Structure 1
């Protein structure tokens, strides 16, 4: 239980840090509502999965299990990838010398949307702890489908319009979209 509480607490801090510091565009009311609904949905699913597992008689083992260890590693790795990639981009964009340029360095040199990969890893880790491997893969699939079918195409169109040839060259140089 405390392991999961730690994950949720760190996630809440990450969300606030992202919205107040890393995000460089204002959050609209519509975007805020959508983000809240998505987080509410996945957090509610995790809560019900945890309650189902906790109240079901099983061979429950005390201490840290292999699944908890893997979940913890995925959480730390995913959180680090997402937050550090966003931090790197923010630092790049803060310099007036980089005005009008896409950020192609740091972790983004390995995959164009590496921050989404980190996000997916840290979100599936909480579900891994509450609902096991099948539920975690379901969450990962939901996020990957959303990113590949909706978020990334919208962002690619925006970046193509904003950066033109620079974005085209970056896409040619960094062929990986999510996973390096």
Structure 2
């Protein structure tokens, strides 16, 4: 078990280092070349893919390859708006940028901000078996912690700096 905590700490540090390079995103090219168009909602512009089943890390890499970010929610309202946009997609599970930061001992978004506990469904996060370390949006538009190596769907978002002055 201690080896797993060290591994997750190293992954978190690597992830934070990689995401800090996102400041280099070119907004003129973000989202170009995606398999299908992005969706513009009242809370931002998103790429929602209910056909692919990548792991959490594969989702992160996919989003970054297109100049996007794994989805991060600033409010319960944004989470609901994005969830409502998935209505035609069998209401599957989607990865978010949330992960358990072993160093801080809390769930954080890729931007380093804490994931508010009220975003999680009742009884979550529960870190079941000590291996659930990322957050997903599930059928009831709330977050659950889950293992990063499972396969869920993709939601990327256009970085805030690309649509807000």
If the TM-score is normalised by the length of the shorter chain, which range does it land in? under 0.3
Q: Which one scores higher on RCO, CA 8 angstroms, separation ≥ 6?
A: 2
TM-score, normalised by the number of residues in structure 1 = 0.25
TM-score, normalised by the number of residues in structure 2 = 0.27
Q: Which has the higher strand share?
A: 2
Q: Which has the higher helix share?
A: 1
